[in-house]
Amino acid sequence: MASSTRSRRMGPVRVGESPAVRRTLIGLVLALSALVIVAPLAVIAVEAFSKGFGVFAATIAHPDTRSAVVMTLVTALIAVPVNTLFGIAAAWSITKFDFPGRGLLLILIEIPFSVSPIVAGVAYLFVYGMQGLFGAFLQDADIKILFALPGIVLASMFVTAPFVARELIPLMQAQGRDLEEVAASLGASGWQTFFSVTLPNIKWALLYGVILCNARVMGEFGAVSIVSGNIRGQTNTLPLHIELLYHDYQTAGAFSAALILTVIAVFTIIAKALLERRGAGRVRAATLAPTAGPAEAAKETP
């Protein structure tokens, strides 16, 4: 009787309230994480140095590996800024304006999430390839898109196009248009409104989307493998170079190159976690004082 009275006072028991259930779920999650995530990462590190540090260093210093790293970095340096600008423009258009086709634009932005990267790569072949839609024109103009850097950048941009936009759109929708309207009423121009009002409120979500976009560009394999031609030392990105090393039975070399991507992934996760923590604090501050800061900033902007 006393226990039933106590349970009524405390409210209904939540799912997982039992210690046995909690321990079982936590143990299951830890076991799966160890098998699916920790074990493969540990194997990459072990295999990378399985033949000694000399083999690891020789693989990293090899011209083909250096070329793949440079190609990956150059692709990211082009694709990420372009997709960042696209994401900001798309989020601004969808959340700040009402226009016919607004829902269609949102659907178009999300298409790369549902299309296989391999399919995207094949589609680029039919657009920019020799027998493609613009193939004859590009050949006559001596412009090379496929099996060169432009094709790799275009394929990478396609698969990463939604990342920045999808981080910004929900946040900007929740923030509404009030702050921008206040800034405009105080005489701020469009650029002043963006840099003094909108950007400070979205900067953490923007950086979060940029980090995710950069990580995907550097790790993209499917679309890039179709449009690059896999030319060793010329059009190979780091993921493609890893595959070539593995097929050449250079297992230690493949894992050595894979370790580079793994380190990038780890730093990406750390940066993502730090931004999530800082972003949460900024959101709480903005919730407590939603108008004073941006309005004053817009007023003070020359």
Tens of pLDDT along 44-88? 888 888 888 888 888 888 899 999 999 999 999 999 999 999 999
Q: Which of 235, 242, 247 is nearest to 264 (CA)?
A: 242
8: pLDDT confidence band, cut at 50, 70 and 90? Answer: low
Burial code (b: 16+ CB inside 10 Å, e: under 16) for 71-101 equals: bbeebbebbbeebbebbbebbbebbbeeeee
Residue 257 has pLDDT above 80, yes or no: yes
Q: Which of 147, 163, 176, 149 is nearest to 215 (CA)?
A: 163
Give the E-state strand segments of 47-129 in sequence order: none
Amino acid at 7: S
Q: Residue 158: is it exposed, middle or buried by C-beta count within 10 angstroms (0-12/13-18/19+)?
A: buried
Collect all residues with Cβ–Cβ distance below 8 Å to 154 and sequence separation of at least 6.
Answer: 124, 128, 145, 227
Which whole number is the average pLDDT over 290-302?
A: 41
Residue 101 has pLDDT above 90, yes or no: no
Q: Which of 245, 243, 224, 246 is nearest to 235 (CA)?
A: 224
Q: Tokens in use for 168?
A: 């910004």
276 or 146, which is more confident? 146
204: pLDDT confidence band, cut at 50, 70 and 90? Answer: confident
- CA–CA separation, 144 and 209 (whole Å): 30
pLDDT of residue 14: 62
Which whole number is the average pLDDT over 128-151?
A: 87
pLDDT of residue 300: 40
Residue pair 112/158 in contact by the 8 Å Cβ criterion = yes
Name which of 11-25, 152-166, 178-192 the model is least confident about: 11-25
Q: Residue 21: is it exposed, middle or buried by C-beta count within 10 angstroms (0-12/13-18/19+)?
A: exposed
Which whole number is the average pLDDT over 166-186?
A: 85
Structure-token match 């997709």, residue found:
83
Collect all residues with Cβ–Cβ distance below 8 Å to 13 and sequence separation of at least 6.
Answer: 7
Q: What is the pTM of this model?
A: 0.79
pLDDT of residue 122: 92
Indicate the fold that domain 52-300 takes in CATH. MetI-like fold (1.10.3720)
Q: In the predicted model, what is the mean pLDDT of the chain?
A: 82
Q: Where are the domains of the chain?
A: 13-48, 52-300
Residue 1 has pLDDT above 80, yes or no: no
Structure-token match 């730093």, residue found:
267
Collect all residues with Cβ–Cβ distance below 8 Å to 279 and sequence separation of at least 6.
Answer: 204, 205, 208
Residue pair 298/182 in contact by the 8 Å Cβ criterion = yes
| Total Cβ atoms within 10 A of residue 152 | 30
- CA–CA separation, 246 and 267 (whole Å): 25
297: pLDDT confidence band, cut at 50, 70 and 90? Answer: very low
- CA–CA separation, 125 and 102 (whole Å): 30
